[in-house]
Amino acid sequence: MSSFTTLGVPARLSSVLADQQIHTPTPIQAATLPDSLAGRDVLGRGRTGSGKTYAFLLPLVARLADGAKPRPKAPRALILAPTRELVSQIEAALAPLAAAAGLTSRTVFGGVGQNPQVTALRRGVDIVVACPGRLEDLIGQGHCSLAEVEVTVLDEADHMADLGFLPAVRRLLAQTPKRSQRLLFSATLDRGVDQIVRQFLTDPVTHEADSAQSPVSTMAHHVLHIDREHRLPILVDLTSAPGRTVVFTRTKHGAKALARQLNKNGVPTVELHGNLGQNARTRNLEAFGSGAATALVATDIAARGIHVDDVTLVVHADPPTEHKAYLHRSGRTARAGSEGTVVTLMTSEQKRDVRDLTRAAGITPTTTRITGTTHAVLSELAPGERVLPGAWEPAGAVAAPRNGNRNRNQSRNRSRNRNRRPAGAAR
């Protein structure tokens, strides 16, 4: 079995991974690292959760280490990602590697003031991790140039296409030197991603591991055929079991309403959708990652790239409309070899749609008919004692008291959150 060192990763970077108890490369890392470390252009195809982030961070940092210092407004490497959350998570994984190599980095995305980003770029940074829109804005204002970029990474390229970012991506890639290294990672090659590959990658080496069309064997898929009026009690039951649960809804309004309902029923829950500002998104993800909130209700904005350790259960409260969304949503669990369970709630009216969806996704789920709010299968899917500690409250918020033990539990929960400032919250 290969190690990072035997694949060519510098010892000081392998040590950073070892400090995080990461010792064995995933299949996509083992496949791509020899070529990317050698300076080749690489096209890596793999499902979400397959370890693509380190597959491109390690060769990028290794290439820039011990090189020339960056000039003002001229980063030496560029990583493009489709969402603010993914940019932030890439930066979190990058930070210890960059520190070990003596490199600097900066995130660039919208939804927050641009002045700190402009200041960092003027000072000079080695690596920019960016969403395409804000980066184009800053380049247009004269705050950044891509003329000295040595390595460009395009992460979640197919999701870029889904969000309509490919024209901006083309414009940005065209500003990087033609002979610079380019690494592109995508679950699929449809929707124009293949055109990006043909236009900007030079003699690329293609590697595929854990494709989006083949769900991992450690992921168990179930469909619960329920009546609409039993949806909330069943969700309360599943989310009150031990462990972290991600619940997906189809709309932003639905995510907000369901998060409010779960909190009202005693499940500490946060929401994630497009109507939230960046500080709220960061605060909510920090609460979920720390365990202060045990359930995250999200739209498809969280289906890609959002990585929180030990998500044991994914619930499609609203079945998605197409199979790629199903697979990427489901990829929030069973990551990096861990086991996980995926549950889809289905009403009688949705039977045909869910059947077509799972068939297109290449899975054969176990279907159970539940005629009430309790069933033995719920304990099998989400084992453990059900606990309702009370609603999650942001730091400083005050909620109305409740009666009995729930009141005491909520007080403890609010106190824990009030004394803890999320790492990404505004100060």
Residue 67 φ then ψ, to 5°: -90, -170
Q: What is the model's pLDDT at position 337?
A: 45
Domains in the chain: how many in total? 2
Q: What is the model's pLDDT at position 304?
A: 59
How far separated are the first and last CA of the chain, in Å rounded?
A: 46
**Same domain assignment for residues 290 and 145:** no
**Same domain assignment for residues 244 and 167:** no
CA torsion 127-130-136-138 (nearest 10°) is -60
The range of the structural domain enclosing residue 201 comes to 11-208
Residue 122 lies in a domain: yes
* Segments in 124-206 forming alpha helices (H): 132-140, 157-162, 166-173, 193-200
Q: What is the model's pLDDT at position 396?
A: 59
Element (H, E) at 360: helix 351-361
Residue 267 φ then ψ, to 5°: -95, 115
**Same domain assignment for residues 181 and 242:** no
User: How far, in Å, CA of 415 to CA of 409, rounded?
Assistant: 10
Does residue 129 sit in helix, strand or coil?
Answer: strand
Q: Which of 208, 238, 260 is the last residue of a domain?
A: 208
| Residue 393 CB neighbours (<10 A) | 21
Task: For the chain of 427 residues, list the mean pLDDT of each consecutive stretch of 10.
Answer: 87 93 89 95 78 93 91 97 88 95 95 93 97 95 97 90 88 95 85 86 86 53 94 96 91 94 96 84 87 91 62 90 78 57 93 91 90 91 91 68 43 41 35
Residue 6 lies in a domain: no
Residue 99 lies in a domain: yes
Question: Edge-to-edge strands of the sheet including 340-346?
Answer: 269-272, 295-298, 244-248, 311-316, 340-346, 219-225, 366-369
**Same domain assignment for residues 202 and 119:** yes
**Same domain assignment for residues 276 and 319:** yes
Q: What is the model's pLDDT at position 310?
A: 72
Q: What is the model's pLDDT at position 183?
A: 96
Q: What is the model's pLDDT at position 285?
A: 86
Residue 322 lies in a domain: yes
The residue ranges of DSSP E strands in 228-357, in sequence order, are 244-248, 269-272, 295-298, 311-316, 340-346
- 5, with CB counted inside 10 A (0-12, 13-18, 19+), is middle
**Same domain assignment for residues 194 and 275:** no
**Same domain assignment for residues 272 and 202:** no
Q: Which of 189, 208, 227 is the last residue of a domain?
A: 208
**Same domain assignment for residues 300 and 187:** no
User: How far, in Å, CA of 101 to CA of 242, rounded?
Assistant: 39
| The amino acid at 182 | R
Residue 214 lies in a domain: no
Q: What is the model's pLDDT at position 156?
A: 87
Residue 2 lies in a domain: no
CATH of the domain at 338: 3.40.50.300
